[in-house]
Amino acid sequence: MIVTLTANPSVDRTIELAGELRRGEVQRAVSVRSEPGGKGVNVARALTAAGAPVVAVLPAGTDDRMLAALRDQSVAYRAVDVPHPVRVNVTVVEPDGTTTKLNEAGTSLGPVVLDALVAAVLEQAAGARWAVLSGSLPPGVPADWYVALVEALRAQGCAVAVDTSGEPLRAVAAGPVLPELLKPNAEELAELTGFDVSRLEADPGFVADAARALVARGAGAVLATLGRHGAVLVDGEGSAYFGQAGTVVPVNTVGAGDATLAGYLLAESAGAGPAERLRQAVAFGAAAVQLAGSAMPRPGDLRPEGVSVVALASRSVTS
């Protein structure tokens, strides 16, 4: 069983244009679609599509369209009731795959709701293999809110993966107990380690050394996603691998990182070694960017045989 937490879920509305986005002009959409979203929800959708047991924990009213959309996709969920509707995020996609996102901040959650979310996650995670803490925090939630949750989940024997950014990510990385898996992108990895982001984007070996710095702090493993350049995985022993898909023409990049994380968790849960975990993670991410809207890939969309994975040697570098 895998449990995901999305404290700041969204309904993701994707608008595809026939031409380049032009500021200040009226343009007609080629297509419009809505999907249940938020990083943890996306992970749950991808796992559900792959047939894996998963429960998505999130705040949402009992009659919110978010929950109806999850039911339509057969995603199991545990919702903490709130009086306000789930926020709506808008993504505008141009024909060449350029993606522009307009994200609402979300609505503040009071201490009663936050405590109920924590209780729901701990209850669902009892006996689970993984708990995934994903995405931004709603306005007003303390930046270190994930920190105590990581400690509580690990204390009850559940492995934890964290995929967030900004202050919440820095708080987790500085916490007394780090998760079994951190999933930063290049910019987030640079923020955490002080390494130069331009070098990280250009050199997988440099990414591996930056990720090793987080493993040295106590992270179980680091899965660093590099967009079209692939991904790097560093495990608890410091071994590093670089994975990259073949030629991929992106349709929409929204949710690709979430699909990547889902692929990793599926492979790990099946007992795969680090190289194969990375192969499946990259295959999931590559499949996701070729789908319209924020759709998550299904097994038939995957091409793991087209993903190359190589070991990366350790080297001495400075930030």
Digits of tens for pLDDT over the chain (319 positions)? 999 999 999 999 999 999 999 999 999 999 998 999 999 999 999 999 999 999 999 999 999 999 999 999 999 999 999 999 999 999 898 988 888 989 888 889 999 999 999 999 999 999 999 999 999 999 989 999 999 999 999 999 999 999 999 999 999 999 999 999 999 999 999 999 998 888 888 899 999 999 999 999 999 999 999 988 899 999 998 899 999 998 777 777 778 999 999 999 999 999 999 999 999 999 999 999 888 777 899 999 999 999 999 999 876 554 4
Convert the pLDDT of each residue in 15-60 to its tens digit: 999 999 999 999 999 999 899 999 999 999 999 999 999 999 999 9
**Contact call for residues 231 and 278 (beta carbons, < 8 A):** yes
Q: How many CB atoms lie within 10 A of CB 15?
A: 19
Domain parsing of the chain, residue ranges: 2-6+38-83+110-312
Burial class (CB in 10 A: 0-12, 13-18, 19+), 294: buried
**Contact call for residues 251 and 290 (beta carbons, < 8 A):** yes
Q: In sequence order, which residues have a C-beta less than 8 Å from that of residue 71 and are 6 or more positions away?
A: none
Residue type, 83: P
SS3 state of residue 16: strand
Q: How many CB atoms lie within 10 A of CB 54?
A: 27
Q: What does the angle CA 99 – CA 100 – CA 101 come to, to the nearest 5 degrees?
A: 120
- Give start and end residues of each alpha helix (H) in 50-177: 65-72, 111-125, 145-155, 166-173
| Catalytically active residues, by annotation | 258
Fold of 2-6+38-83+110-312: UDP-N-acetylmuramoyl-L-alanine:D-glutamate ligase (3.40.1190)
pTM for the model stands at 0.92
Q: What does the angle CA 225 – CA 228 – CA 232 come to, to the nearest 5 degrees?
A: 30
The helix, strand and coil proportions of the chain, stated in percent and rounded to the nearest 5, come to: 35, 25, 40
Q: Where do we find the tokens 């998505």?
A: 56
